[in-house]
């Protein structure tokens, strides 16, 4: 590593970013103690990536001068590479890519090779994508043994179990994407794979839609289901039946998502090397088998000219500086390919043959706030498309410039590569809009091209203290209007939005919208605006209110197809049995909807019942849980905590009554536990075998320990894990994944 210059400035790190750096990025010694500073981290990365410049005699940069440029780029929060690069550049591990795609062939040997390779990748800190479309359908004959095949979904379960056992980079389980073509005979089983809670919790699932299928949907026609191992038609299905099932499952739970395979392959820059069958775990990076992602993001919020606001939009952007940063970022990402050590030699060969990079953006919502432009407006769409067109054009110019210095990527072929009349490129792809959950915390900006999920929220810190986190541009706007107060902030936290706060000026309510304020069609249109100028794909979630209908989702899917998106992820607020992030308004809406639900028969209470009372320490005090039984099964529960009359006591009593109602109505105790286990609260406490997160979580713990001790542990699905397993904060669903806005934890790696 280059010697650190004495005049190297210290990075200005916000408290949130400092916590994330210490937890995830700063190197640690053998005892787990932090052994480097943020300044040392960014110099380690900058110097390691700049050192690759020495390979190229024609480079206009010296290694030392480029390292300083890279350092300034990162510490001024204008550009950051993906997390593995920050973690591993300049270290013995040296694995700098975030995600990979592996093939799954139609033989036991190929299937378990893929399991083995995935474990190696997860161990090194990467995530994996797979297509299971090559596997013969369930009940097909297996010629070598005379047996019958168990089908893609059964093998998907093996991959999921293997992932469960391997922690990613020594910290958490790896993430996976599983894709099955819509014309595979087992497609119905695949679409329904996550109906049972807790199944495939280490996978995102997507159905690969073809244009033939979409045309059949439009015409209300039928299409062929084809056995991949023989090429023979197994049956025909009405396309709308399958499409409607996809819509229903998305309405119920958000799973599975959809990707448009034909559209992805039309943009495949190296079709001579094969068809693209899968993507990385969040869906934004379609890749050939044995390819890897190499991603980074430019922080758009850093390119506003001083003193500019309002509707001028384009005139407020420092285009010259943005172009400079894009060119440096492309050089950085191309160097990362040379610097990275890959888990498999086959991956190293494929990556270096095509040299794909994915430069994306973050901070877009903050940029709109700064310019006082609503996200859900034509002006917002126009600015988003203009910005991405610029980043894409400048990125390709930078790749052409590198090709002149270093030569084009080895697989470049003028007969198939869409050069658009320009010279050869250094990189087969240049742009991708990837999730930036943790990176955006470091940079102090909004994530990707998503709107903010909340303008402010309460962060829980040590000893029960609370810290209010407020979006800086919202705080500045309130301050300028003389409206900022802690009472107002408490109200915003409770509501989750300011859209109905009539005490605030209309202009502020139009500009400072959050994800759930925005009509779904605007989410989709924004995704399409960025997709039109992105080589790969866009990671984005279309958020829908709880009241959204299946028809709303059907319209979003169809609009995504017509607008040229390469896939789409929808999430209907509260669609899982336990909500991920709940606001007061969302609760009110769901209560109205659920009042009309029919009730089942409730058993009468016998005159005499017996049971037990257990003392449980919770973060809100000691709870005494009494469970009465009938015929050896739980029949009713009573939870008491604290002094009579306190609101906490009332909540505990209410939870007990509802659990009792469920048990007396015949609901199995396992189903009750599945509903309330894992619900997060403000004050989690440690027990010998883990955390008790809240009063309902403590009730679940008692019931499971007493009545389900001889059964497998009750699973908690991804969307039921309301609280971050690392810091206890509320998780949010955006960019196709569950992420923690407080510490950067992500269920997708």
Q: How confident is the model at residue 191 (pLDDT cuts 50, 70, 90)?
A: very high
**Residue found under tokens 């595979």:** 184
Element (H, E) at 405: helix 378-406
| Arithmetic mean of pLDDT, 644-669 | 84
DSSP 651-673: HHHHHHHHHHHHHHTT--HHHHH
Active-site residue flag, 282: yes
Are the beta carbons of 686 and 611 closer than 8 angstroms? no
Are the beta carbons of 100 and 126 closer than 8 angstroms? yes
Q: Which of 10-24, 212-226, 411-425 has the highest mean pLDDT?
A: 212-226
Looking at 280, 335, 376, 628, which residue is catalytic?
280
Find the radius of gyration of the CA atoms of the chain.
26
| Arithmetic mean of pLDDT, 193-215 | 91
Q: Which residue has the higher pLDDT, 572 or 37?
A: 37
Are the beta carbons of 664 and 643 closer than 8 angstroms? no
Residue 308 has what pLDDT?
63
Q: How confident is the model at residue 619 (pLDDT cuts 50, 70, 90)?
A: confident
DSSP 700-727: HHHHHHHHSTTSPPPP--GGG--B-TTT
Residue 725 has what pLDDT?
66
Distance between CA atoms of residues 580 and 196, nearest Å: 18
Residue 460 pLDDT > 80 = no
Mean pLDDT of the chain: 88
Distance between CA atoms of residues 721 and 678, nearest Å: 6
Residue 507 has what pLDDT?
94
Q: Which residue has the higher pLDDT, 201 or 461?
A: 201
Indicate the domain borders of the chain. 15-95+293-442, 99-279, 454-513, 519-530+540-583, 610-720
Residue 728 has what pLDDT?
64
What single-letter DSSP state applies at residue 58?
T
Distance between CA atoms of residues 181 and 175, nearest Å: 20
Q: Which residue from 575, 562, 519, 574 is spatially nearest to 542, judged by alpha carbons?
A: 519
Lowest-pLDDT choice from 62-71, 168-177, 499-508: 168-177
Q: Which residue from 481, 438, 450 is spatially nearest to 375, judged by alpha carbons?
A: 450
Q: How confident is the model at residue 465 (pLDDT cuts 50, 70, 90)?
A: low
Distance between CA atoms of residues 137 and 684, nearest Å: 46
- CATH architecture type of domain 99-279: Alpha-Beta Barrel (3.20)
How far the first Cα of the chain sits from its last, in Å, is 28
Distance between CA atoms of residues 71 and 19, nearest Å: 20
What single-letter DSSP state applies at residue 34?
B
Are the beta carbons of 444 and 14 closer than 8 angstroms? yes
Residue 63 has what pLDDT?
97
Distance between CA atoms of residues 704 and 711, nearest Å: 9
Q: How confident is the model at residue 633 (pLDDT cuts 50, 70, 90)?
A: confident
Q: How confident is the model at residue 697 (pLDDT cuts 50, 70, 90)?
A: confident
| Arithmetic mean of pLDDT, 462-478 | 76
| Arithmetic mean of pLDDT, 389-412 | 96
Residue 644 pLDDT > 50 = no
What single-letter DSSP state applies at residue 414?
T
- Same fold for the pair 15-95+293-442 and 99-279: yes
Neighbours of 284 (CB within 10 A): 28
Share of the chain above pLDDT 70, in %: 87
Residue 383 pLDDT > 50 = yes
Share of the chain above pLDDT 90, in %: 62
| Arithmetic mean of pLDDT, 225-242 | 97
Residue 167 has what pLDDT?
63
Residue 732 has what pLDDT?
78
Q: Where are the alpha helices (DSSP H) in 306-377?
A: 319-339, 345-354, 364-371
β pairing state of 257-260 and 278-279 = unpaired
User: Residue 340: CB partners within 8 Å, gap ≥ 6?
Assistant: 94, 95, 96, 97, 292, 294, 351
Distance between CA atoms of residues 736 and 147, nearest Å: 39
| Arithmetic mean of pLDDT, 413-424 | 63
Domain 610-720 has CATH 3.90.550: no
Looking at 284, 385, 585, 704, which residue is catalytic?
284
> Residue 588, preceding bond cis, omega within 30 degrees?
no
Distance between CA atoms of residues 33 and 44, nearest Å: 18
Residue 329 pLDDT > 80 = yes
Q: Which residue has the higher pLDDT, 19 or 307?
A: 19
Strand partners, 237: 223
- Token pair listed for 281: 């775990």
Residue 142 has what pLDDT?
85
CA 344 to each of CA 131, 288, 295, 707: distance values in angstroms, whole numbers, following the listed order: 19, 15, 19, 46
Distance between CA atoms of residues 293 and 648, nearest Å: 48
- Token pair listed for 644: 């009579």
| Arithmetic mean of pLDDT, 125-142 | 94
Residue 221 has what pLDDT?
98
Neighbours of 425 (CB within 10 A): 25
Q: How confident is the model at residue 585 (pLDDT cuts 50, 70, 90)?
A: very low
Q: How confident is the model at residue 459 (pLDDT cuts 50, 70, 90)?
A: low
Look at the alpha carbons of 348, 349, 350, 352 in this order and tell me if their dihedral is positive or negative: positive
Largest Cα–Cα distance of the chain, in whole Å?
91
Lowest-pLDDT choice from 491-505, 605-619, 622-636, 732-746: 732-746
| Arithmetic mean of pLDDT, 446-451 | 96
Active-site residue flag, 284: yes
Q: Which residue from 701, 453, 741, 691 is spatially nearest to 582, judged by alpha carbons?
A: 453
Report the b/e string of 479-516 with b at 16+ CB within 10 A: eeeeeeeeebbeebbebbbbbeeeebeeebbbbbbbbb
Residue 48 pLDDT > 60 = yes
User: Residue 689: CB partners within 8 Å, gap ≥ 6?
Assistant: none
Active-site residue flag, 280: yes
Q: How confident is the model at residue 599 (pLDDT cuts 50, 70, 90)?
A: very low
Residue 408 pLDDT > 70 = yes
Q: How confident is the model at residue 207 (pLDDT cuts 50, 70, 90)?
A: very high
Task: Give Cα 711 distance to the centre of its chain.
Answer: 31
Residue 640 has what pLDDT?
85
Q: Which residue from 293, 298, 257, 178 is spatially nearest to 566, judged by alpha carbons?
A: 257
Are the beta carbons of 245 and 548 closer than 8 angstroms? no
Q: Which residue has the higher pLDDT, 614 or 275?
A: 275
Residue 582 pLDDT > 60 = no
List pLDDT tens digits, range 520-562: 999 999 999 999 999 999 999 999 988 899 999 999 999 999 9
Looking at 16, 82, 176, 282, which residue is catalytic?
282
Residue 134 has what pLDDT?
98
Q: Which residue from 605, 589, 723 is spatially nearest to 665, judged by alpha carbons?
A: 605
Q: Which residue has the higher pLDDT, 145 or 135?
A: 135
Distance between CA atoms of residues 92 and 271, nearest Å: 35
Distance between CA atoms of residues 61 and 412, nearest Å: 25
Which CATH class, in words, describes the domain spanning 15-95+293-442? alpha beta
Residue 681 has what pLDDT?
67
Residue 152 has what pLDDT?
97
Are the beta carbons of 293 and 358 closer than 8 angstroms? yes
Residue 686 pLDDT > 70 = no
Look at the alpha carbons of 544, 209, 174, 356 in this order and tell me if their dihedral is positive or negative: negative
């Amino acid at each position: 590593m280059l010697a650190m210059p004495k005049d190297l400035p210290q990075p200005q790190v916000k408290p949130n970013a400092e916590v994330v750096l210490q937890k995830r990025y700063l190197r640690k010694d053998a005892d787990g103690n932090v052994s480097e500073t943020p300044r040392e981290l960014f110099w380690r990365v900058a110097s390691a990536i700049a050192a690759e410049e020495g390979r190229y005699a024609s480079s206009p940069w010296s290694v030392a001068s480029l390292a300083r440029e890279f350092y300034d780029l990162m510490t001024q929060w204008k550009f950051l590479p993906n997390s593995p690069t920050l973690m591993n550049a300049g270290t013995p591990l040296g694995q700098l890519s975030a995600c990979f795609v592996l093939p799954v062939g139609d033989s036991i040997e190929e299937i378990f090779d893929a399991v083995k390779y995935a474990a190696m990748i997860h161990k090194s800190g990467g995530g994996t994508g797979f297509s299971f479309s090559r596997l013969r359908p369930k009940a097909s004959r297996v010629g070598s043994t005379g047996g019958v095949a168990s089908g893609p979904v059964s093998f998907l379960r093996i991959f999921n179990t293997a992932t469960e056992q391997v922690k990613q980079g020594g910290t958490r389980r790896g993430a996976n994407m599983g894709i099955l073509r819509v014309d595979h005979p087992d497609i119905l089983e695949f679409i329904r794979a996550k109906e049972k809670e807790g199944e495939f919790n280490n996978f995102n699932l997507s159905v690969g839609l073809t244009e033939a299928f979409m045309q059949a949907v439009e015409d209300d026609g039928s299409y062929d289901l084809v056995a991949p191992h023989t090429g023979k038609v197994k049956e025909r299905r009405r396309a709308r039946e399958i499409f409607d099932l996809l819509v229903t499952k998305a309405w119920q739970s958000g799973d599975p998502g959809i990707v448009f395979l034909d559209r992805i392959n039309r943009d495949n820059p190296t079709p001579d090397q094969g068809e693209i069958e899968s993507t990385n775990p969040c869906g934004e990076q379609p890749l050939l088998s044995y390819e890897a992602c190499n991603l980074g993001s430019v922080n758009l919020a850093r390119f506003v000219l001083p003193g500019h606001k309002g509707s001028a939009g384009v005139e407020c952007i420092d285009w010259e500086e943005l172009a400079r940063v894009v060119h440096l970022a492309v050089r950085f990402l191309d160097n990362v390919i040379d610097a990275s050590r890959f888990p498999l030699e086959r991956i190293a060969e494929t990556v270096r043959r095509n040299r794909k990079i994915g430069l994306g953006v973050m901070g877009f919502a903050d940029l709109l706030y700064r310019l006082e432009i609503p996200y859900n407006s034509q002006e917002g769409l126009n600015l988003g498309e203009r910005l991405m067109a610029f980043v894409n054009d400048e990125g390709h110019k930078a790749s052409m410039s590198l090709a002149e210095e270093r030569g084009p990527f080895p697989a470049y072929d003028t007969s198939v590569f869409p050069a658009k009349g320009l010279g050869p490129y250094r990189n087969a792809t240049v742009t991708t809009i990837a999730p930036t959950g943790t990176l955006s915390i470091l940079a102090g900006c909004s994530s990707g091209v998503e709107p903010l999920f909340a303008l402010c929220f309460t962060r829980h810190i040590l000893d029960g203290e609370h810290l209010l986190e407020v979006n800086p541009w919202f705080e500045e706007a309130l301050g300028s209007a003389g409206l900022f107060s802690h009472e107002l902030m408490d109200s915003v936290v409770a509501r989750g939005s300011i859209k109905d706060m009539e005490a605030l000026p209309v202009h502020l309510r139009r500009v400072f919208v959050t994800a759930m304020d925005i009509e779904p069609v605007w989410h989709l249109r924004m995704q399409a605006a960025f997709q039109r100028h992105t080589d790969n794909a866009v990671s984005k979630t279309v958020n829908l209110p709880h009241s959204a209908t299946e028809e709303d989702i059907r319209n979003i899917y169809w609009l995504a197809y017509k607008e040229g998106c390469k896939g789409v992820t929808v999430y209907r607020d509260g669609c899982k049995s336990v909500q991920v992030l709940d606001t007061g308004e969302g609760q009110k809406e769901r209560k109205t909807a659920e009042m009309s639900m029919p009730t089942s028969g409730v058993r009468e209470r016998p005159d005499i019942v017996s049971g037990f009372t257990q003392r449980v320490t919770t973060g809100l005090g000691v709870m005494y849980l009494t469970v009465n039984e009938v015929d050896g099964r739980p029949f009713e529960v009573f939870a008491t905590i604290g002094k009579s009359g306190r609101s906490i006591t009332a909540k505990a009593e209410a939870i007990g009554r509802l659990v009792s109602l469920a048990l007396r109505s015949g609901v199995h105790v396992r189903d009750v536990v599945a509903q309330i286990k894992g619900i997060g609260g403000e004050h989690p406490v440690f027990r010998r075998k883990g955390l008790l997160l809240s009063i309902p979580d403590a009730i679940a713990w008692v019931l499971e320990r007493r009545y389900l001790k001889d059964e497998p542990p009750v699973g908690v699905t991804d969307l039921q894990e309301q609280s971050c397993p690392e810091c206890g904060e509320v998780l949010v669903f955006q960019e196709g994944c569950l992420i923690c806005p407080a510490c950067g934890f992500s269920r997708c790696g």
